[in-house]
Structures are given as C-alpha cells and as structure tokens.
Amino acid sequence: MLHEAVLTKLKELGSQSVYFEPLGGNNGDDLIEMGAMCVMKYVGIKLVSTPQEADVIVINGSGDLSYHPGSKPIEDTRQASLLMRFKDKQVILLPSSSTQVNAARMIDVLKDRKATTVLFTRDAISYGLLKSLEGPQVEVMLDHDMAFGLHGSKFIEELKKKTSSGPLLIVERFDTEGATKPPAIYRTPVFFRSLIPSGLKNFIKKKTLGAVHKGTPFISEATGKVKELFPAVQYNDIKAADISLPQNHTFEEFADAVAGASVVVSTRLHVCVLAALLGKPFVAVQFEGGNKLSGVFKQSLESFQLGKLWIRSR
C-alpha cells in the first residue's frame, strides 16, 4: 500500500535536513512511528536530532491534531508547540484524524506562520474539516495512516512467521471512545487524574484492568458479531485485553497477541491495522457519532478482504 501523496511531498524535500517528531504514547502509536520511519528511509530522508538544526519539521500522524477538549490547551500539545515555535520552518504533519472542534482550534496555531504547513489527513471526513484551513501557506492532503508503511516490511514478514490460529482477541478501550462504562480511574475528572503520579496511575491500571476486561458486556456482543460475520472461523478461547496500553503490555506482547489470534475484534484502530497487515480476519468497531475507525476503514482498511466494519450504538 503506497503513500503516494506523502511520498511525493517527502521527495520534494530533496537533500534538506528533517527533524522527525514521533509523538507516541501507546503500542499503536509505536506502529505508526515504525511505518513512518520505513517510508522516510525509502525516500532517503536526512534526519537530524533537533528541530533547531532542521530545514523541515515532520510530525508523525496521530488520532487527532490535539487532545480532547478540556484535557489540555492546544498550545501545550507537541504538534502545536512545534508549529508555533518554528514559524519560519516548513512543517509537514503526517496523516492524522481530526474533529470539528480541533480543526477550529488550529486556526490560531497557524495564523502567524510564515513558512508552508502541510496537513495530511487519513480519512475523508478529517480532510473535509481541515480543507477550511487551506490557504497560501497551508496545504491539506489525504493519504493512508502511516502504520500502513509497514506493508511488506521485514517486521511484518518476520511476524507472519509467528502467526497461528489461537484465541478470539477482543480489544476494548476504556475512555471516551470506549464501549463500556470505564472503571473509576477513567471516570475521575482530568484535573484530579493529573495530580496522581504516573507511576501510581500505571500501577492501578495494571492491577485492575486485566480483571475488568474479562467481564464486560462487550465481550458477548463481540463474540456474537464474529459468529455473524465470520461463521467459518473456529477458536477455543477468548483473550480480552487492551493490548495497546503499554502499562500492561509490551510492544512485543501487543504484536504477538494479534499474530496469534484467529480473529480480532477491536475498538483500537492500530490493532485492526496490524491484523490487516498480517492477513487476519478483523472487525473494526466504530461507535455511532464517531469517525476515526470508520474513516480509516473506508480510506484504507476496506481494501483488505478479511476486514469488517461494525458501527455499534452506544
């Protein structure tokens, strides 16, 4: 799967030096970073270690251009910080999703920039939202999520050697994009959560989430959906866990869980992307009113024959 628009734009950089901001946070974000690095290596991008010494800044793609409203000001995000601090440097934001709120919040971030800004989106809805920002110094383009840059990579080919037909893998997130009412730590207001040391938060999640994941109503719904969509698939066990959370699962465990599954049902986008790259049957779960998974599904995942989209009511 070629990133034609991204490749064209990166090739235009020629011998200019590039600072790459990987963003990151969970195991799915690591997959995006790996795909982006594969694409930049293919183009022959010259990377430098700081934005100050770079001619161009490339920011990795993500689930949104900023955090959900209320969690932190857009000016405090890494994307916006680079755009605002380095007004005279070209900035390329790799394919991301956006919302109406955060597209509007980008207006102030971009208004004083003197160099070109290229905003790549990874779905048609985000593309439509960000098109309103386009102008003499702002270009908006559509391409695939950067994790698809791993297609045919050594990482995927090696992981394919470890594939097996093991359990049904059900990956459910507990946040604003989740399927089930989240545990208490997620329902605590953001301000109070920010006061809890990260180490303690991670310890609480590690101790509580494993048990919670195994007993949610979503599990029975997911197994029923698999029987409906993949009636021929056989499995003897169910593994229910949010394998994208690095507090509970290493990246290797994340990758091995997808490789070892018979079929995957996930509210996490990049679990579905990895399943697609490995040729696994998967069900991408999008909730009514959202567009992140459904948008990327229609842009990219729909081309994988074993992929299905499940629009689920809340």
pLDDT at 37: 98
> What percent of the chain has a predicted confidence (pLDDT) above 70?
85
User: HSE-up of 61 (CA within 13 Å, CB side)?
Assistant: 34
- pLDDT given for residue 63 in this prediction: 80
Q: What is the pLDDT of residue 209?
A: 62
Token readout for 238 is: 């169910």
Per-residue confidence band for 214, with pLDDT thresholds at 50, 70 and 90: confident
User: Which residue shows structure tokens 């197994």?
Assistant: 223
pLDDT tens track for 226-277: 999 999 999 999 999 999 999 889 999 999 999 999 999 999 999 999 999 9
Cα atoms in the Cβ-side hemisphere of radius 13 Å centred on 133: 31
Determine the pLDDT at residue 101. Answer: 82
Which H, E and C letters describe 65-123, residue by residue?
CCCCCCCCCHHHCHHHHHHHHCCCCEEEEEEECCCHHHHHHHHHHHCCCCCCEEEEECC
Residue 215 confidence (pLDDT): 74
State how far the Cα of 275 lies from the Cα of 233, in Å rounded to an integer: 15
d(CA 265, CA 237): 14
| 64 vs 96, higher pLDDT | 96
Looking at residue 151, its pLDDT comes to 96
CA–CA separation, 292 vs 9, rounded Å? Answer: 24
Long-range Cβ contacts of 78-82 (<8 Å, 24+ apart): 78/21, 78/23, 79/21, 79/23, 80/106, 80/109, 82/21, 82/51, 82/57
- CA dist list (Å): 295 to 24, 123, 290, 292: 21, 5, 9, 5
CATH architecture of the domain 163-312 equals: 3-Layer(aba) Sandwich (3.40)
How big is the chain, counted in residues? 314
Contacts of residue 162, Cβ cutoff 8 Å, sequence gap at least 6 = 256, 259, 260
Encode pLDDT of 29-74 as tens digits: 999 999 999 999 999 999 999 999 999 999 999 887 655 545 666 7
Lowest model confidence (mean pLDDT) among 142-146, 187-191, 207-211: 187-191
pTM as predicted: 0.91
Give domain 4-150's CATH architecture.
3-Layer(aba) Sandwich (3.40)
pLDDT at 286 over 70: yes
Which residues of the chain does CATH 3.40.50 include? 4-150, 163-312
